[in-house]
Amino acid sequence: MSDVTRGGTAGPVHVPVRGKAHGHDHPALVHHFADLDQQREASSLGMWLFIAQEIMFFGGLFLLYAVYRNLYPHAFAEASSHLDWKLGALNTVVLIGSSLTMALGVHAAALGHRKAIAWWLIATIVLGAVFLGVKVVEYGEKFEHHLVPGPHFHYEGPDARPAQIFFSLYFSMTGLHALHMIVGIPILACMAWMGWRGRFGPEYHTPVELTGLYWHFVDIIWIFLFPLLYLLGAHQPHM
């Protein structure tokens, strides 16, 4: 009999585990967690790890960028001057604004302000949509000027080949970034709906919080993309 207990358990005694005082009967608690705190911490860590892998995913593209930028500094600067930095700057401001409304939305959720959650998240969605709209305008412009890499790519000057690499990276990085926003918007809508229905409060608002983390991460990627892609050639007299 003694063997059983030596195995590391204190035997068949039901042991109260974690702080049961907190959110123990909340409808959002999933069966395998002891309480809402454990559930929240686990979800938040999971989201951060997801963001860590996203950083490495974009990291591969940043590496391609870093190497080719170092190989072809002049070509990159010149190609960059074909981008409209004003639109880029506008989008930066829009996206920073959407990060602010997102943060305020999370704030409202933590306080349990039902309508405020919904309105802030809707504001975030609108700003996100503005960003994507500007992006569509920009892409359209590149398409007209034959700056989309591929068979129709046309670029004057001796640096056409490195310029094509620049535009490939431009489209991959901004495209992947836009894709993340497109994924984010329905999630935001869902959160706004749940917030409106009063599903969040001081005790439980993890989904909004995690959506916020994701949205801010997307903002951070853009914070790097803007100077790296748009501003290389800004001090050149091209445009």
Between residue 190 and residue 209, which ones bind another protein under the rule CB under 8 A?
A: 202-203, 205, 209
Report the 10 Å Cβ neighbour count for 114.
Answer: 17
Decide if residue 21 touches another protein (CB under 8 A): no
Which residues touch 77 (CB under 8 Å, ≥6 apart)? 232, 233, 236
State the minimum distance, in angstroms, from the CB of residue 78 to another protein.
10
Report the 10 Å Cβ neighbour count for 179.
Answer: 11
Contact positions with another protein (CB under 8 A) in 24-53? 31-32, 37-38, 41-42, 44-46, 48-53
Q: Interacting stretch for another protein, rule CB under 8 A, among 104-112, 123-131, 139-147, 192-200?
A: 104-112
As a residue count, the chain comes to 239
Which residues touch 48 (CB under 8 Å, ≥6 apart)? 213
Q: Are 54 and 213 in contact (CB under 8 A)?
A: no
Nearer to another protein, 30 or 136 (CB): 30
Decide if residue 104 touches another protein (CB under 8 A): yes
From CA 211, how far away is CA 83, in angstroms rounded? 31
DSSP state of 29: -
Contact positions with another protein (CB under 8 A) in 220-239? 220, 223-224, 226-228, 231-232, 234-235
Decide if residue 152 touches another protein (CB under 8 A): no
Decide if residue 1 touches another protein (CB under 8 A): yes
Decide if residue 99 touches another protein (CB under 8 A): yes
Q: Residue type for 239, please?
A: M
State the minimum distance, in angstroms, from the CB of residue 60 to another protein.
3
From CA 195, how far away is CA 125, in angstroms rounded? 14
Give the interface size with another protein as a residue count (CB under 8 A). Answer: 95
